[in-house]
Each structure stands twice: as C-alpha cells, then as structure tokens.
Chain A
Amino acid sequence: MKVVGVTACPSGVAHTYMSAEALVIAGQKVGIEVKIETQGGAGIENELTKEEIAEAACVILSNDVGIRNEERFKGKKVVRMSTSDLMQKAEPLMKKIKTAF
C-alpha cells in the first residue's frame, strides 16, 4: 500500500518536517510506503509526482496553513489534520488507513 501527503506549517521551520518524518516512520512500522512532500522554509522538497498521487490509497494533508497546488489531489480520498496531530497520532492514523483502504 502507498500513501502520499503534504505538510506545511506557519514558520516552515520545524513542524513541517517533524510531521513528515513521523508519518514515514509510522508507515514503516505498519507496512505502508509513505512519501511526504514538505512545503517549508526551504521551499518544496520531495515533490510528489502525478504517478505517485495516482497510486496512493489516500492523501494526508496538514491543515495549519494552506497547501500549495492542492488541485492535484482532486478526486482522491484526503485526510486532513494539524501537523501537531500528525506528529502525535501518526501511528494510529496509519493503522486506520491500513484497515480502511
């Protein structure tokens, strides 16, 4: 199973990256291949490709601040949470995704 996502936070310094990493770690634990694009102070990194988005079972988007190029995810199942919640609840979220999709 593959899951993609995008994270961004107000300052673009810490939570963008912490939540992205937490999701990848949680994915490894439950056996989901996770790729997270970060839209932080250093710009857009690890940008998702069309193919990756098409293959993903669902899309995780942080909702602290607006996500750039969100129209890419039209028609996909989207989960929205704050970066803090993503950090703290990454593992239960991944487990839920695994059973739901």
Chain B
Amino acid sequence: MLPILKKECMLFESENMTKSEIMQKMVDVFDREGYLTDKELFYHDVAMREELFSTCIGFGIGIPHGKSDAVKEAGICTAKLEQEVVWNEETGDKVDMILMIAVRNKNDSNLHLQILSKLSRLLMHEDFREKLKNCNHEELYHTLIENLEV
C-alpha cells in the first residue's frame, strides 16, 4: 500500500507557470510515484472536475481533485508556488498553494476517504492554512502527516 503522502510528491516551484502546466506536472509526479494506471485519463478527470467549477477555495489555495478510474491508490500531491497562478478564470482568483488529490473512482478504502475529508475540514481553519503556507519543505510534510492521522 502506498502512503497517502510522500515527500517525493511535494513540489516547490519558483518558475512562472500556467494552471495547466502545474497540473500536468503534478499529474506526472503522481504517475512517477506509482499512484496512477493512466496519467492522461487522470489529467482529463481532474481537468473536467476543474471545469465544473474551479477548486480555488480562497486564501490562495487550490485543491484540484479527481475521482478516477486511472487511480491505483489514493494520494496527495502538493505544490507551493513562488509565483501565483490564476486558478479561477472567471473571478481571477489566484493560488500559490496547491493540494492535488487522487481518489479511486470505486472501492477506495474508507481510511483514504477519511484522511481526505479530514484534510478538507482542516483547510477551513485559518491556523492550519497559515501553517501550510508559512512552512518549508520538511515542516510541510510533518504538518500534513501529523494532522492527517485518523
């Protein structure tokens, strides 16, 4: 079983990127780390979800997620951006912190779903958001791991 979060799935980007570029990069990371069976399909599913309505949750955070047949095991990929990227074309809302979530379309374990629902709930708390945004690579990993235990 893959861990829901690996250090290899945490990106720090200093370059100026578009939304689709950073999403593609995160999908590639998921694929490289063994979470996917079909990266094109996963990208498609996440992009479709994004089109439904943007996953920008405010506070400079975006949480693209897809329930997809292309997911082998649930996981989280994070990216901190030095340069903000527009996440919602309609409102112009920008993000500099991205948490991409991969979930199996069917039969994902309850444990995975509980971890992800806990993450979603935590994101509504200002102190947690501040922590995520103000920490370095190592701290971010530990903050997420500690808080996501269920």
Q: Residues of A at under 8 Å CB distance from B?
A: 10-18, 20-22, 25, 38, 40-43, 84, 87-88
Contacts and interface: CB of A to CB of B under 8 A. Distances in A.
B116 A11 contact: no
Contacts of B55: 14
B94 to A, nearest CB: 16
Contacts, number: 62
A41 B49 CA distance: 15
Contacts of A12: 67, 113
B58 A18 contact: no
Nearest to B105: A11
Given A42-B114, A87-B124, 10 more contacts: A12-B113, A13-B103, A13-B116, A13-B117, A14-B101, A14-B120, A18-B121, A38-B117, A41-B103, A42-B110
Nearest to A10: B52
A42 B117 contact: yes
A13 B65 contact: yes
A65 to B, nearest CB: 11
Contacts of A15: 120
Contact of B124 (A16, A25, A40, A43): A25
Interface size classification for chain B: 20 to 34
A88 B117 CA distance: 18
B121 A41 contact: no
Contact of B116 (A14, A21, A25, A38): A14
Contact of B121 (A11, A21, A42): A21
Given A11-B65, A40-B113, A25 B57 contact: no
A87 B52 CA distance: 17
A18 B57 contact: yes
Contacts of B57: 18, 87
Nearest to A18: B120
12 contacts: A11-B49, A11-B103, A12-B67, A12-B113, A13-B116, A13-B120, A14-B116, A18-B57, A40-B113, A41-B113, A41-B116, A43-B110
